[in-house]
Amino acid sequence: MDDKLTEKVNKKLKEGWIKSTMMIEVLAVTEEAAKESLEKHIDRMEKEEKALIYRKNFKKIDKVKNPLPKITEAYSNVVELELLTQNYDKLVYMVMTYVPSSVEILEPGHIKMDMGEAQGVLNSIAELIHKFAAAGIGGVIIGT
């Protein structure tokens, strides 16, 4: 990381931004599709406001045998990211939108949020569940 980026990251951490890591994996039927789709996915992430990806480490693309039923061979591509988000609501949004395989919050040790941010997180989750229900791929069954 160059000095300018290090300075920017440190400034945002002092402002209370959240530092985390994410692992994102794609599985595709060709090596090229695995590479291109993950790169485009990360490009979209990098354009998000209130988020800063300051390190990305693309791993070697691996050939996977029988990864899913009816698929005999595919290619897995993984990237490890380090990023900052302005607040917890934005981190939740990033997780719901870009679906990492794992997330680890590195800093701060404790996260405090006001009621508005807590409500924002809950509404983001509710919105996602409603999108799944509207698409016919999920939702919540309400007992009577």
If one compares 131 and 95, the residue with the highest pLDDT of the two is: 95
Burial of 98 (C-beta count, 10 Å sphere; 0-12/13-18/19+): middle
| Residue 134: pLDDT band with limits 50, 70, 90 | confident
Asked, for residue 144, whether it belongs to a domain, the answer is: no
Asked, for residue 79, whether it belongs to a domain, the answer is: yes
Mean pLDDT of 55-60: 97
Close Cβ partners of 133 (under 8 Å, ≥ 6 residues apart): 139, 140
Please tell me the pTM assigned to this model. 0.86
Asked, for residue 143, whether it belongs to a domain, the answer is: no
| Cα 38 from Cα 13, distance rounded (Å) | 27
Digit-coded pLDDT (tens) for 61-80: 999 998 888 889 999 999 99
Asked, for residue 142, whether it belongs to a domain, the answer is: no
Give the angle subtended at the CA of 46 by the CAs of 37 and 43, to the nearest 5°: 25
Q: Whole domain around residue 90: which residue ranges?
A: 3-134
Strands 71-85 and 51-58: antiparallel
Asked, for residue 111, whether it belongs to a domain, the answer is: yes
Digit-coded pLDDT (tens) for 91-121: 999 999 999 999 999 999 999 888 998 998 8
Count up the domains in the chain and report the number. Answer: 1
Asked, for residue 108, whether it belongs to a domain, the answer is: yes
Provide the residue type at 119 as one letter.
Q
Return the H-helix or E-strand segment holding 76.
strand 71-85
8: domain CATH number is: 3.30.70
Task: State in Å, rounded, how far the first CA of the chain is from the last one.
Answer: 56
